[in-house]
Amino acid sequence: MNKHKVISHAGLAIDLATIKCFKLSPFSDLGKTNILIIEFKTRYNYIENPKTGEFEKQEYNEQTEIEFQDYETAKVYKLEWQEIWEDYLNE
């Protein structure tokens, strides 16, 4: 497992160790277009249920979305993020 490394690019700071994948959506979804989606690895936490006093496992599947003015710009940033991530993985 690679060590944590935070990188800032395209106005977003991300810990590269937490990335699962990058997706690019040219389609309109709830009024959004040209979206770069960064999915993060699933993380887990245990939270105490106040009624039972037992700890319950919580699963978090998070993502960040960045909307760009056009598809070509979104595509360029996706490729740049992928290159940064690939370089990190090859360290």
- Quote the pLDDT of residue 38: 95
Nearest one of 38, 26, 35 to 84, comparing CA atoms = 38
Per-residue tokens: 50: 């106040």
Residue 1 pLDDT level (bands cut at 50, 70, 90): low
Q: pTM for the full model?
A: 0.81
Q: What is the pLDDT of residues 32-60, one digit of tens each?
A: 778 999 999 999 999 999 999 999 999 99
Q: Are 38 and 14 in contact (CB under 8 A)?
A: yes
Residue 74's CB is within 10 A of a number of other CB atoms, namely 21
* Domain regions of the chain by residue span: 22-74
